[in-house]
Amino acid sequence: MNRHEVNRAFDAFNQMNIIVIGDVMIDAYVWGKVSRISPEAPVPIINIHKKEYRLGGAANVALNLKQLGATPIICGVTGNDPEGQIFSDLLTKREMINDGIVIEPQRPTTIKTRVLGSNQQLLRIDEEIINPIAQETADNLIQKIKQIIENKKINGIIFEDYDKGLLDKDTIENIVAIAQKNNIITTVDPKKQNFFNYKGISVFKPNLKELNDALKVELSGTDFEQIHTTAQSFCEKQDIDSLVVTLSEHGILVSEKNKFTVIPAEKRDITDVSGAGDTVISVITLCKAFGLSINEAARLANLAGGLVCEKVGVVPIDRNRLLDEALAVFS
């Protein structure tokens, strides 16, 4: 890939419509200053000076796509509660489409609250239910996805799975079948529960821990040959085209058929790795939809994942910074 192809790819992102189906949530941040320890227990006392709500989970993937110029369509479930309204307001603020959101009244909207003192995370509070969504909700969700595909040119579908109850075997199989019928690429950011339920996927992107946990192996982040061998065995059984493993400080490994490629991590001042996986799957999906090879897609995604790790909290990619770095790397 050269500078001309990089510019062409970024221009093409502006024309793309990507469905993101997965567990949506709110990332809440409570910022403050710690000045003393509580006399009631050995815990810090934080004086709060700011509260902030951000789109989280699958919605952060959609936000990354939006920042890159694409049009994301989020397909997920929220509750009929104040947090559900906050989520809806955040979508409106970002000018993002909510055609794929289904409300399940008995289910609370997932919210993760991070408490930070002097930019150091002190505590995280999760408010959620991880039981499977109701069958009626699942049916409504699939119907919405069918309608979206009928009414829009869809360039890709991302499964953003957080094991919060939205996705199950039947829902995944239904959506993959719809995608295959319409020649739409599918990419997956998996979690353990549905790891083996994804079949016929274009790109499967676990991190090393997720791969080890699901396959019950203990692969080292530097044992590239063994990671590739294990990945290919899994891909053959699952009919997956390419498997991309994120390896933290060791970079990204791309495994396809009879070969693998390791893309070293960029040297960065790492502040927070939260949300890096969301950025990586977003960039890979857009690049594959454009027609780049999986290696080229992973190289650009590697740059993007490193950039968001320089920020505190879950933040989307900065398109201009990524473009500048890509033009420098692919000169």
In sequence order, the 6+-apart residues with CB closer than 8 A to the CB of 304 are: 279, 280, 282, 283, 317, 322
Q: What is the pLDDT of residue 297?
A: 94
Domain count, the chain: 1
Choice among 161, 189, 278, 318 that is catalytic: 278
How far is residue 61 CA from its own chain's centroid?
4
Residue 173 has a CB neighbour count (10 Å cut-off) of 14
Closest by CA to 31, choosing from 122, 110, 93, is 122
Q: What share of the chain is helix, strand, coil (3-state, %, to 5)?
A: 40, 30, 30
324 is catalytic: no
Q: What is the pLDDT of residue 303?
A: 87
- Residue 291 within a domain: yes
Q: What is the pLDDT of residue 312?
A: 60
- Residue 48 within a domain: no
By residue range, what is the domain housing residue 106? Answer: 3-25+57-110+130-329
Cα–Cα separations (whole angstroms), residue 3 to 6, 66, 302, 331: 5, 22, 17, 5
Q: What is the pLDDT of residue 165?
A: 94
Tokens 């505590």 found at = 123
- pLDDT lower than 50: segments of the chain: 272
Tell me the pLDDT tens digit for each residue of 292-330. 999 999 999 998 887 876 666 667 788 888 888 888 888
- Residue 42 within a domain: no
Which CATH number do you get for residue 86? 3.40.1190.20
- Residue 50 within a domain: no
Q: What tokens does 101 get?
A: 């959101």
Closest by CA to 65, choosing from 23, 24, 18, is 18
- Residue 152 within a domain: yes
